[in-house]
Amino acid sequence: MKKHDGKLIRKVMVMSVGIAVVIALILTVMGIIKIKGTYLDMAEEELRVAAVQYESQITSTWDGDWAYENEDLSKGGVSVTEEYLELMTDLKADTNLEYTIFYGNTRVVTTLKDESGEYLVGTTASDKVVETVYRNGQDYMAENIVISGEKYYGYYVPLANDDGTMVGMVFSGRASADINRAIQDDMMQMLLVVFVAGAFMIGMAINLNRLLSKVMLDIEMYLEELAEGRLNAEIDEKLIGRNDELGGIADSAKRLRDKLHEVLGAVKEMAEALSNDGTNLASSAGQASEASGQVSLAVEEISKGAIGQAESVESASGDTSDMGEEIDGIDRDVTVLDQNTVDMTEFSNKAMEALNELLSENEQVVASMQVIDRQIRATNDAVRNIAEASGLISGIAAQTNLLALNASIEAARAGDAGRGFAVVATEIGSLADQSRQSTVEINNIVNELIEESQKSVETVEQLNQAFEEQNTKLSTTKEDMVQMTMGVDKVTQSADEIKNSIRQLNGAKNNLISIITDLSAISEENAASTQETNASMQELTSTFGMINHAAEDLQEMSASLTEQISFFTI
């Protein structure tokens, strides 16, 4: 038997004590933080009250404005340095607080001293304090501020004249060591309480663990005997008589033993009866399963034949449907072909009309080109005549120029009498030159006209030849269109004949599909019926098999149950 030596109780105790210690430490830390915050709040409130009270006292003692000259502080023209220093010294003796009066940012009256014992007069406050208090007129609390090498908690309030003009600050402070010492004392007290409480809890846990471990060990040993099948084991009556949870566990264990003793006796009897019934059930199920198997084989053969017949009919139906679809496709194609032939006939007629119009227009163009050819040739002849006339004019201009030259010579010989004639001769010569130049230009233009006219004649001749070839091709095309129209008429006639044949074939196809559809429905019903019958027989055979298997399992379970029950000693 395995011994546990009270490990569960020990774990529970250790866990409980650990949780309690952790909670105590958390509460201690939270208490320390809270105490520290409370001390700091109290210190701030104490310093604020002290600073405000002192500022109010020194402000109301004398009337007038503050002034500081030659290291002497005055108010309303009265020197107050010695008086206020004595007042601050008395307050320090009563409250253990330090006091300082600042004029501007400089200490002018203070109870603070340096290491040599001299008052810290003339020293200045930090920039942050000056900015907050002196310049902005706000209170300021400083933690761990260093003054002459020592840390202080200090509170600053602004100092102003009667008209509200800022002139300085008032300071009250306490050494940080005093506050920190008080906080540390409270922390040590709390830690001591936690330590004592923890030690007490650990002692209680050890004692409780020792007491409970023995009781738990006795109950464990009793349950171990029950687990080993010894239902005749007895438990100590002292354990049952306990008024706690362990007493309840002991009592429950005893009642469990009694109930197991009663149940196992009944189970043993039922196991024997179950074994006999399982044998009879297995024999009957085997016989029924054998008969069901033979019937299932016969039904399966019938089902195979019905399924094969249904498949054949279904295949024939599918082929007939495919044939019908093919016939429908041919019918649609013939309809489209018929429509196409109608369209082709219409297009052929339109093309023939357009071709006739093109032939007529081509003949008109040829006639027009012949007229243009005659006009161009006439123009060419006229240009040549102009060229001949221009040559005559050029000759006349040359003769005129020669006569004008001779006239000028004769006029020069005549002297003054021939001067007027000389002018006329000169003008005639000038006109002859202009005529000659114009004739040259006309000749150039006429030559260009002759060249262009010749080109036009050649171009017209080429166009005439092209139009003749085009006319020949159009005639040939017209003959081809006539032949195509005759072919389209033949195709239209053949399409009508095919369409009539398709209508007859489609009617026969519809009758065949109807017959095969009826046959297919009958075959499918037969196949479905045989399949359902076969499935039912298979389910029945499977059921008998399951019964037979269950009977065998029942026998095995009965044997196993008997074997398991024999483990217990009643």
Q: Tell me what pLDDT residue 24 has.
A: 73
Q: Which DSSP helix (H) or strand (E) runs through 431?
A: helix 419-565
Contact 136, 146 (CB under 8 A): no
Q: What's the pLDDT at 48?
A: 94
Q: What pLDDT is stored for residue 117 in this prediction? A: 85
Q: Topology of 7-208 in CATH?
A: Beta-Lactamase (3.30.450)
What's the pLDDT band for 551 if we cut at 50, 70, 90?
low
503 Cα distance to chain centroid: 62
pLDDT digits (tens, 9 = 90+) for 163-206: 889 999 999 999 888 777 877 887 788 788 878 887 887 787 77
pLDDT band at 140 (very low <50, low <70, confident <90, very high): very high
DSSP code per residue over 383-417: HHHHHHHHHHHHHHHHHHHHHHHHHHHHHHHHGGG
Model confidence, pTM:
0.37
pLDDT, tens digit (0-9, with 9 covering 90-100), for 299-312: 566 566 656 666 66
pLDDT of residue 564: 64
Question: pLDDT-derived band of residue 230, with 50, 70 and 90 as boundaries?
Answer: confident
More confident position, 347 or 451: 451
The 3-state DSSP class for residue 63 equals coil
Mean pLDDT of 433-441: 78
Average confidence score pLDDT of the chain: 76
Q: Please check the confidence at residue 533 and state whether its pLDDT lies above 70.
A: no
Cα dihedral sign, 130-132-136-137:
negative
Show Cβ contacts of residue 179 under 8 Å, excluding neighbours closer than 6 positions.
39, 40, 43, 153
User: Has residue 286 got a pLDDT over 90?
Assistant: no
